[in-house]
């Protein structure tokens, strides 16, 4: 008998009797009855409004609007996804993977042809995390998509102009595929737990920078009528090891000056969607295991303290690790009762439909106020209306196909990669590499060897290469590989080793030691989140590139520039105004303001490698030209200049420097001149 009841519950979404369809609080007629009444009276159809749409929707349809479900199918919705859409059309979907932009467009178009759209004119919110969207094709990630830098690279570059270009690139891609929101980035700060591995989509440890990035993304997406779903609230999302859930370690009294800063800036900038994660918050709510189930987090902190008016998404509900015997449906009801508007699911399937039916029963039984459902649906439909989704036409396939023609590294992505490369160690000035003190040079590693070889050999001439093929598949640099590499490296003065986090520590350490014992200078290029910096500290120099190892080929040119001392230039003028007297000559030296590479470590790994570390190896060769503007009409183009102010006042000195690749950066210095 129980099995028959369960089956009837699942089928109810597609075969609903008229009595169920009319169960809308405050309304006595079903949609069909209202239409028939209007036709008999000869009245024209009533204009669409949020209120009329909610009135016409059944309780199940309204509950389903509060579901945000991740769709896993790559080319089109699969069987389980189609079943869910027909029975409980979710209000929002996140597409996890597609093979190419046109596939994304066709997928989005298929999702919009759903029962709720057809019956009530209510479109579906469709989103994706563009950084994770492309399907991995062989060894290269995203064959039809332009490679994009990681958010950690954005943090290391710390260049607002480049970040703005990247945000525009994100918005352009999602709009051309018919999506309506970006799922991410996380605004949670870098992990504090010593063993936490972090993630490449982390925006670093500086709350002000993370908040500024959130504002930039919101502005870029607003211009295209798109939304951003920022994740990780209330912080601590990267503080996890193994299978343990993440935990927010910051005391409640310190959150306002740390973890909450990015979210507060996002709220003030007009964020419409925030994801409250399955994060343990012992300093905020000891009673509830996860923030996604906590009224103290969602109601008291987010709504009341931060005055957030937008949509609160909780979950993923199917990612909760400690339900204490409760079902996902029970957790879903608890999240809505605690203040959530929508519920995130990592995958579609019958478990989502069961949870939706549990919510329906909770409303019908009086355990969950129907007004809670209606308030959240109203908030969601208002967002859809503000984004213009109901009247927006889907892009053409031609627009999506244009994205495929931009597979070459976009300028915005290239700028960030160049500016993110970081030298965290440079003992005995091993870098930059040169013909005078570096050759012959040997290049080895688990990835990126041929990509580094070409530019280095062009500049240095005496360069050899050997790949470590077995390590990439076995996760270890075996002893026979170490012997092979070192036995062939006799006479090599400098060895460049490209490593990733996936390689076990012992082999890395032994390989570095063997090369050093042979008298070679060792330069390690570490690709990925740099949590394994401690494994390679015996190297003479360490260069960090914050790319996904599976998508690092295009970024290797930026590493080669850094190794050769021709990387992007950054500027750090004095913070305090310069005090001068009228007629007092002052010398300005561009080399005192400039540094290169521009990248700075955006996270703290251990005391030796603190956030902000970055060694400069700036050479004259890295600077193509400089330009001074002294604020009194005076100008100069020399690297070192003298200038005299002839009248008292406050002046702004501007230095612009162009690097070897033609990219220009500028900085300001304030000067106070007195009699």
Query: Which pLDDT tens digit goes with each residue over 437-492?
Result: 999 999 999 999 999 999 999 999 999 999 998 887 778 999 999 999 999 888 89
Say whether pLDDT at 10 is over 60: no
DSSP 266-277: HHHTT--EEEE-
Degrees (nearest 5) of the Cα angle 568, 569, 572? 145
Question: Would you state the pLDDT for residue 46?
Answer: 80
- C-beta separation of 196 from 241 below 8 A: yes
Q: What number is the average pLDDT over the span 260-271?
A: 98
524-562 core/surface letters (b: 16 or more CB in 10 A; e: else): bbbbbbbbbbebbeebbbbbbbbbbbbbbbbbbbbbbbb
Question: Would you state the pLDDT for residue 29?
Answer: 30
Count other Cβ atoms within 10 Å, centred on residue 63.
29
Confidence of residue 404 (pLDDT cuts 50, 70, 90): confident
- The tokens describing 631, both together, are 């604020």
Question: Would you state the pLDDT for residue 524?
Answer: 98
> Rounded to an integer, what distance in angstroms lies between the CA atom of residue 136 and that of residue 548?
12
- The tokens describing 587, both together, are 């010398």
Say whether pLDDT at 322 is over 90: no
Domains, the chain: 1-47 (no CATH), 69-404 (3.20.20.300), 421-563 (3.40.50.1700), 570-674 (2.60.40.10)
Cis peptide before 594 (omega within 30 of 0): no
Burial class (CB in 10 A: 0-12, 13-18, 19+), 501: middle
Which phi and psi angles does 24 have, rounded to 5°?
A: -120, 125
- C-beta separation of 181 from 127 below 8 A: yes
DSSP 229-279: EEEEETS-TT---TTSPPB--S-GGGGGGTTHHHHHHHHHTT--EEEE-S-
Q: What number is the average pLDDT over the span 358-379?
A: 97
DSSP state of 280: B
Return the half-sphere exposure (C-beta side, CA atoms, 13 A cut-off) of residue 590: 28
Question: To which residue do tokens 């196909």 refer?
Answer: 401
Closest listed residue to residue 413, CA positions, set 59, 95, 130, 654: 130
How many Å is the Cα radius of gyration of the chain? Answer: 29
> Rounded to an integer, what distance in angstroms lies between the CA atom of residue 234 and that of residue 248?
8
Residue percentage of the chain with pLDDT more than 70: 91
- The tokens describing 197, both together, are 């591995």
Q: Comparing 95-109, 143-157, 398-412, which segment has the lowest mean pLDDT?
A: 398-412
Question: Would you state the pLDDT for residue 621?
Answer: 77
> Rounded to an integer, what distance in angstroms lies between the CA atom of residue 535 and that of residue 512?
10
> Across all residues in the chain, what is the average pLDDT?
90
Say whether pLDDT at 626 is over 70: yes
> Rounded to an integer, what distance in angstroms lies between the CA atom of residue 314 and that of residue 359?
15
> Rounded to an integer, what distance in angstroms lies between the CA atom of residue 571 and that of residue 588?
14
Question: Would you state the pLDDT for residue 76?
Answer: 84
Q: What number is the average pLDDT over the span 210-238?
A: 98
Say whether pLDDT at 136 is over 90: no
| pLDDT tens profile 16-60 | 333 333 332 332 333 444 444 544 455 667 899 999 999 999 999
Q: Comparing 7-11, 160-164, 190-194, 599-603, which segment has the lowest mean pLDDT?
A: 7-11
> Rounded to an integer, what distance in angstroms lies between the CA atom of residue 39 and that of residue 107?
36
Q: What number is the average pLDDT over the span 388-394?
A: 95
Say whether pLDDT at 140 is over 60: no
This prediction's pTM: 0.89
């Amino acid at each position: 008998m129980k099995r028959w009841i369960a089956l009837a519950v699942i089928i109810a979404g597609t075969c609903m009797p008229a009595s169920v369809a009319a169960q809308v609080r405050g309304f006595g007629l079903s949609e069909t009855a209202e239409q028939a009444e209007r036709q008999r009276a000869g009245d024209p159809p009533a204009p669409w409004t949020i209120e009329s749409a909610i009135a016409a929707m059944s309780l199940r349809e309204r509950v389903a609007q509060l579901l945000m479900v991740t769709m896993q199918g790559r080319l089109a919705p699969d069987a389980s996804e189609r079943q869910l859409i027909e029975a409980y059309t979710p209000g929002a979907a996140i597409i996890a993977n597609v093979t190419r932009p046109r596939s994304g467009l066709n997928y989005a178009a298929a999702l919009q042809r759903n029962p709720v759209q057809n019956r009530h004119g209510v479109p579906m919110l469709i989103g994706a995390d563009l950084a994770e969207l492309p399907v991995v094709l062989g060894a290269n990630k995203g064959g039809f998509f332009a490679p994009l830098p990681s958010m950690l690279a954005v943090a290391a570059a710390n260049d607002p102009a480049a970040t703005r270009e990247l945000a525009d690139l994100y918005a352009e891609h999602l709009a051309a595929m018919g999506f309506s929101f970006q799922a991410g980035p996380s605004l949670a700060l870098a992990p504090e737990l010593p063993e936490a591995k972090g993630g490449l989509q982390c925006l670093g440890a500086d709350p002000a920078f993370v908040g500024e990035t959130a504002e930039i993304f919101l502005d870029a997406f607003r211009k295209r009528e798109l939304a951003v779903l920022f994740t990780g609230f209330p912080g601590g999302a990267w503080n996890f090891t193994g299978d343990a859930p993440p935990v927010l370690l910051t005391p409640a009294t310190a959150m306002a000056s740390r973890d909450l800063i990015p979210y507060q800036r996002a709220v003030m900038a007009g964020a419409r969607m925030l994801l409250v994660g399955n994060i343990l918050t012992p300093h905020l709510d000891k009673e509830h295991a996860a923030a996604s189930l906590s009224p103290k987090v969602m109601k008291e902190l987010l709504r009341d303290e931060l005055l957030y008016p937008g949509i609160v998404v909780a979950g993923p509900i199917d990612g909760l690790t400690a339900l204490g015997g409760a079902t996902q449906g029970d957790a879903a009801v608890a999240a809505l009762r605690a203040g959530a508007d929508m519920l995130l699911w990592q995958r579609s399937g019958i478990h989502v439909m069961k949870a939706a039916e549990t919510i329906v029963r909770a409303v019908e039984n009086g355990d969950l106020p129907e007004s809670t459902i209606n308030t959240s649906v109203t908030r969601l439909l208002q967002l859809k209306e503000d984004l213009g989704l109901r009247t927006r036409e889907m892009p053409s396939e031609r627009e999506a196909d244009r994205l495929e023609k931009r597979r070459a590294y976009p300028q915005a992505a290239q700028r960030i990669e160049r500016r993110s490369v970081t030298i965290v160690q440079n003992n005995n000035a091993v870098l930059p590499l040169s013909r005078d003190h570096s050759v012959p040079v040997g290049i080895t590693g688990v990835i990126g060897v041929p990509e580094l070889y070409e530019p280095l050999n062009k500049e240095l001439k005496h360069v050899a290469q050997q790949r470590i093929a077995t390590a990439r598949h076995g996760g270890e640099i075996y002893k026979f590989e170490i012997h092979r590499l070192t036995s062939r490296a006799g006479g090599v003065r400098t060895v460049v080793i490209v490593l990733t986090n996936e390689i076990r520590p012992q082999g890395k350490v032994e390989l570095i030691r063997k090369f050093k014992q042979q008298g070679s200078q060792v330069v390690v290029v570490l690709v990925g989140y740099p949590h394994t910096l401690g494994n390679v500290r015996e190297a003479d120099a360490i260069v960090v590139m914050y790319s996904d190892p599976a998508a690092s080929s295009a970024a290797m040119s930026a590493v080669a520039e850094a190794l050769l001392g021709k990387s992007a230039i950054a500027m750090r003028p004095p913070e305090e105004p310069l005090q001068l007297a009228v007629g007092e000559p002052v010398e300005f030296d561009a080399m005192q303001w400039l540094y290169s590479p521009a990248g700075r470590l955006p996270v703290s790994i251990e005391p030796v490698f603190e956030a902000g570390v970055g060694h400069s190896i700036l050479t004259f060769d890295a600077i193509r030209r400089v330009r001074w503007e002294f604020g009194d009409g005076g100008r100069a183009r020399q690297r070192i200049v003298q200038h005299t102010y002839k009248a008292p006042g406050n002046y702004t000195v501007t230095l612009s420097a162009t690097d070897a690749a033609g990219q220009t950066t500028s900085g300001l210095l304030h000067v106070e001149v007195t009699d």
